[in-house]
């Protein structure tokens, strides 16, 4: 059984849903050696989140952003407002989507569906660099 853990920073991105699958795989080349396993991703921030969804059609990501902006709008009288009008809505969106995803590994590759990708969901206008902790476990392909 193999266990590996790494932490890395994602470059700052604008508000929205961003496919980061290739970046994550690039940071964890150890998955190529695994026959079967799991990759767990955790984001160490409270105003951004992670998700797995459609990676090909950009309209899906645009619609996701628009929908979550309606669910947690700016301009509401939130008690928490010290970091700007986008902060509390960002916390709400992050709670709805979650701070982690787990993806199976099969034959040295992420076992995502044909259309799936890993998203960084940036909920702030200027969220800055985001730190991910990635843990990989599995059995080597011997």
For residue 14, report the phi and psi dihedrals to the nearest 5 degrees.
-70, 165
Q: What is the pLDDT of residues 84-124, one digit of tens each?
A: 999 999 999 999 999 999 999 999 999 999 999 999 999 99
Q: What is the pLDDT of residues 19-67, one digit of tens each?
A: 999 999 999 998 999 999 999 999 999 999 999 999 999 999 999 999 9
- Indicate the pTM of the whole model: 0.95
Classified as helix, coil or strand, 31 is: helix
Question: The sheet that has 16-19: what strands, in order across it?
Answer: 16-19, 116-122, 48-54
In 3D space, the residue among 1, 5, 11, 31 whose CA is nearest the CA of residue 120 turns out to be 11
């Amino acid at each position: 059984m193999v266990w590996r853990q790494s932490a890395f920073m994602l470059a700052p991105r604008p508000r929205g849903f961003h496919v980061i699958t290739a970046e994550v795989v690039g940071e964890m080349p150890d998955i190529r050696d695994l026959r079967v396993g799991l990759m767990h991703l955790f984001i160490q921030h409270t105003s951004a989140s992670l998700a797995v969804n459609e990676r090909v059609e950009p309209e899906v990501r645009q619609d996701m952003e628009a929908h979550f902006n309606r669910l947690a709008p700016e301009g509401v009288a939130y008690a928490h407002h010290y970091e700007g009008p986008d902060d509390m809505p960002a916390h709400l969106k992050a709670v709805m989507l979650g701070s982690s995803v787990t993806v199976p590994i099969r034959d040295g590759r992420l076992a995502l569906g044909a259309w799936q990708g890993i998203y960084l969901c940036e909920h702030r206008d200027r969220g800055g660099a985001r730190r991910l902790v990635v843990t990989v476990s599995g059995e080597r392909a011997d």
